[in-house]
Chains A and B, each alone.
Chain A
């Protein structure tokens, strides 16, 4: 099971772009990279998933370099409501995404 490493916390200001990088040096060939967002008193919520290069949806972008040993979640123009904990997971087949780790606590300030 691929282990992930993320910064414990990050601070930003409203309107800025935020990039959170996750390291996953022992990612397997079949593994995908998935990011979740968790607000206080709620369960985590799926944000984005990718395998390689770049994925973009209405919420975020995910950048994955060619070696896939890391990935960067990019949140454009954050607002106060983006204050949350962001988790990076690596896996793909059923049952492999079992280790969430500590996540990155993002604080967006006015």
Chain B
């Protein structure tokens, strides 16, 4: 019954440090998405996982960004050598696309607010 959860809710780090952001999707959801949202802006797609298929990494802005999804459930987004422009809210969403056509509704977590000093 629980929704998508993310941790930490807030993360302050120094430039150059690595950070890990965690997403726990809704149980049974096979699809998982990561987005980035800068202040006052729309959502920027980062990466998409679907079941055991290779992830769609087309939105990752640089090779400092990576993500993995273990056991088809929990996902971790890692940002290496953080820069100030990485400061944003990182949102995770999950969905159950195998339920049928047109039902790929994404359920979002509360996000992690990352601040790079």
Contacts and interface: CB of A to CB of B under 8 A. Distances in A.
Interface residues of B, number: 28
Interface stretch (A13-21, A45-53, A62-70): A45-53
B31 A44 contact: no
A99 B35 CA distance: 10
Given A43-B109, A100-B35, A95 B50 contact: yes
A94 interface: yes
A95 B48 contact: yes
Interface in A87-109: 87, 91-103
Contacts of A92: 101-102, 104
B20 interface: no
A34 interface: yes
Contacts of B14: none
Interface residues of A, number: 26
A81 interface: no
Contact of B59 (A46, A49, A98): A98
Interface of B: 4, 31, 33, 35, 41-43, 45, 48, 50, 56, 59, 91, 93, 95, 97-98, 101-111
Given A43-B4, A44-B106, 8 more contacts: A42-B111, A43-B109, A43-B110, A87-B42, A93-B101, A95-B56, A95-B97, A103-B42
29 contacts: A30-B101, A34-B105, A36-B106, A42-B108, A42-B110, A43-B4, A43-B91, A43-B93, A43-B108, A44-B91, A44-B93, A44-B108, A46-B106, A46-B107, A49-B102, A49-B103, A87-B43, A92-B104, A93-B97, A93-B101, A93-B104, A94-B95, A97-B106, A98-B56, A100-B35, A100-B43, A100-B45, A101-B42, A102-B41
